[in-house]
Amino acid sequence: MQKILAPLVSSRNELKHVSTITSCAMFGALSVVLSYYTIRLTPNLKIGLGALPNELVDYLFGPVVGPLFGGAMDIIKFMLNPDGGFMPGFTFNAMLAAFIYGMFLYQKPLSLKRMLAAKLIVVVLCNMLLGTLWLSMLNGKAWIALFPARAVKNLIQWPVDSLLFFMVAKALEQAGAFRIIGKHGPAHKR
């Protein structure tokens, strides 16, 4: 039980640091900018890089800060660039994905294997199952009609997104970018 609660308590304590709030603001701005460069394949399928800053927040600040950031960013991005109707389910997905990433990545050594595992759970649970449900409810189309294309897209994108996050996070870590915001290496405890 302690192994489950420790990252939650530590992540909650991250909210006490001004550097956490300012870093989240910077990652939020980056997320908004990157979300404008999304490629829409069909009305229900799109590919973009807007989630990368969110995943970095989850890695750096954990399973409490991450969901707060993810939920806020989902709402902010929708207000800045409305794309169809607002569905609270997508906000829930953003928060759930952030929680999963935070539990897998926060205060742990960065590894591609760990990222692949976290991303697979997010892809299956949040994107393929729940995301398809929210789109079905929003568009009035049958879940089973939307699922195959979304499953193929997500399963193809899963290793690509995992590798992209791993390479970006490793490069930022090696460049010393995490030290600037008070994070020092994989354990990055304050």
Instruction: Report residue 147 as tokens.
Output: 């699922």
E strands of the chain, at which residues? 39-42, 45-47
Name the DSSP class of 120: H
Helix 51-80 and helix 2-14, axial crossing angle in degrees, nearest 10: 60
CATH topology for 2-180?
Answer: Arp2/3 complex 21 kDa subunit ARPC3 (1.10.1760)
Cβ 175 vs Cβ 181: under 8 Å: no
190 residues of the chain, pLDDT tens digit each: 788 899 999 999 999 999 999 999 999 999 999 988 888 777 766 778 889 999 999 999 999 999 999 999 999 999 998 877 889 999 999 999 999 999 999 999 999 999 999 999 999 999 999 999 999 999 889 999 999 999 999 999 999 999 999 999 999 999 998 888 877 545 455 4
Domain boundaries, the chain: 2-180
What size, in residues, is the chain?
Answer: 190
Q: Give the containing element (helix H, strand E) for 19.
A: helix 18-35
Residue 52 exposure: Cα atoms within 13 Å on the Cβ side = 21
